[in-house]
Amino acid sequence: MERLRLALVANRLSVLLDRPVLALQECIGPEVESAVAGMNGGDVILLENLRFYPQEQEGDPAFAESLASLADIYVNDAFGPSHRAHASIVGVPRYLPAVAGLLLAKGLDTFTRVLQNPDRPFAAVIGGAKVSDKLDVLENIVPGRISSSEAGMAATFLASRGYGTGASSVETDRLDDVRRISAKAEELGVRLLLPRDVIVAGRLDAGASARVVPITAIPDGMVIADIGPAAASEFCQELAGRRTVVWNGLMGSLRSLSLQKEPAGSLQPSPTSTAPRSPVGVRPLTR
């Protein structure tokens, strides 16, 4: 837990702002209230990691109200987690005037443009651990006749097609949703690519042994950590001729990076790309 504290972030923020940043070890409570009450114009305080509090992910109204009591206005500049019903995302704005930050606004504008009027041909790379987090994205992409590559959440897609997934996390309550999206993609002629091979490990921890296997031979007791080299090659070939690529989510688990020096399934943005850079990852990709 100590490595997730935000003291290091405060140090870096202090350098960027060229002024002291006070890092607190709590988000709410008497210590925080006292520090905020003692602020002068130009002072900067960084609260502790919200995820240390279970009330954050529970969307607890009392927790949200406590956070809101510290401020006069709410600015959300976090595009990535804005789809989550967490206290800091949906709760605090109920108690304060709320606006979108410049980065969040840029992300929304970019996503709107590429989904409504993209430069075609258009493809999407959809990753992340949970299908449930990406259903809305997939629901919008498939009717737009956009080819899509699935990776991080592939276990649920693979299970929906009858493949064994070892000990990988499968959202069984979403299997019907996944089958419906797959059927819709086939009906519209949209290519919905799943990895043909994956990197599996006994656990997603440093020191765990990992190996590449085809999706037809995922061993019992092993978990999918990342896409495999054949999948990476196929995805890159599919993306090579695309004018627009939306990349939303990770191909594999962040913890899988400790399993090997360079994950075989890694996809890397082209360093010479002139495509627009944005929080939603609109860019050409190369292996």
Q: Where are the domains of the chain?
A: 2-103, 105-286
2-103: CATH architecture: 3-Layer(aba) Sandwich (3.40)
Look at residue 133 in the predicted model and tell me its pLDDT. 74
Q: Which fold has domain 105-286?
A: Rossmann fold (3.40.50)
Among 47-51, 104-108, 191-195, 255-259, the range scoring the smallest mean pLDDT is: 255-259
Instruction: Tell me the pLDDT tens digit for each residue of 256-284.
Output: 544 544 444 445 544 333 343 343 443 33
Among 12-16, 69-73, 235-239, 248-252, the range scoring the smallest mean pLDDT is: 248-252
Query: Long-range pairs for 171-179 at CB < 8 Å and ≥24 separation?
Result: 171/130, 171/131, 171/132, 174/131, 174/132, 174/135, 177/131, 177/135, 178/131
Q: Is the pLDDT of residue 205 over 60?
A: yes
Look at residue 136 in the predicted model and tell me its pLDDT. 78
Nearest Cα to Cα of residue 178 among 152, 145, 153, 147: 153
Q: Is the pLDDT of residue 287 over 60?
A: no
Same fold for the pair 2-103 and 105-286: yes
Look at residue 199 in the predicted model and tell me its pLDDT. 92
CA distance 14 to 21: 5
The structure's pTM equals 0.64
pLDDT mean across residues, the chain: 84
Among 97-101, 103-107, 127-131, the range scoring the smallest mean pLDDT is: 127-131
Contact 35, 45 (CB under 8 A): yes
Burial (CB count within 10 angstroms: exposed 0-12, middle 13-18, buried 19+), residue 227: buried
Look at residue 23 in the predicted model and tell me its pLDDT. 97
Look at residue 278 in the predicted model and tell me its pLDDT. 40
Q: Identify the band that residue 253 occupies on the pLDDT scale cut at 50, 70 and 90.
A: low
Q: Is the pLDDT of residue 20 over 90?
A: yes
Contact 161, 196 (CB under 8 A): no
Max mean pLDDT range (84-88, 230-234, 264-268): 84-88
Say how many CA atoms lie within 13 Å of 211 toward its Cβ.
7
Q: Identify the band that residue 147 occupies on the pLDDT scale cut at 50, 70 and 90.
A: low
Contact 161, 149 (CB under 8 A): no
Among 42-51, 205-214, 252-261, 273-282, the range scoring the smallest mean pLDDT is: 273-282
